[in-house]
Amino acid sequence: EMGCLGVVVGTVWLHAIRQFLDTSVFLGGIIMIQMHMQQGLSQDARIIRQEVFVEEQGFHHEFDEIDSRAWHLVLYENEQAAGCCRFFSSDQPGVYILGRLAVRKSFRGRQYGEQLVREAEAWLRGRQVKRLALSAQVRVRPFYEKLGFTASGDEYLDEYCPHIHMEKELGK
C-alpha cells in the first residue's frame, strides 16, 4: 500500500511541478505566458519595439523592409504584450538572423528574453536551420554568451551604438 501511495503522491507532485513550470506564481497570482508567431510585423511587436528601441534607446531606423518577410515572435504575460523578437533567412543556406529582441521595461527580470530566444531556436531547429546569427549590442553580449552564442570579428557602430556579430550552431 505504501508503494501505491508513493506513486499517487509522486504523480500529484510531478503534476504540480509541471504546472509550476508552465505558469509562475507572482505576488500571489498566476501568470499565464503565451507566445504568438506570425510572418510580418504585428501591431504588438511594433509597439514593443517603438517603446524599447526608439523611445527608450533612441534608435531612429528601427523598422525596415525585412519586417514584412521576417517571422515575429511575441511573448504575452496575462494577455499583455511583454517582449518580442524577429528572425529571417540570411543569404547563406541554413543560416537565419535573429534580431530586434526587446522586453518592455515593466516586464524585465523575468527571463522573457531568454524564453523568446529559446522558442525561436526550437522553431528553427524543427525546420533544419543549422546556425543562428545576430548583431548584438555590446552591452548585452554576456546575455547571448550565456545562451551559447559566440562573438566574432570587431565591434562596429549601428546608429552610434557599439554592436558585435555573434553566432550559434543550432544542432539537434
107-130 tens-digit pLDDT: 999 999 999 999 999 999 999 999
Please tell me the predicted confidence (pLDDT) of residue 10: 37
- Residue 109 three-state SS: coil
Please tell me the predicted confidence (pLDDT) of residue 7: 37
State the pLDDT confidence band at 171, using cuts at 50, 70 and 90. confident
What does the block give as the cell for 10?
A: 509522486
Ramachandran sector of residue 132 (left: φ over 0; alpha: ψ -120 to 50; beta: rest): beta
Question: What span, in angstroms and rounded, lies between the C-alpha atoms of 119 and 131?
Answer: 15
How many CB atoms neighbour CB 84 within 10 A? 28
The average confidence (pLDDT) of the chain is: 87
The strand pair at 161-169 and 150-158 is best described as antiparallel
Residue range 122-142: average pLDDT?
96
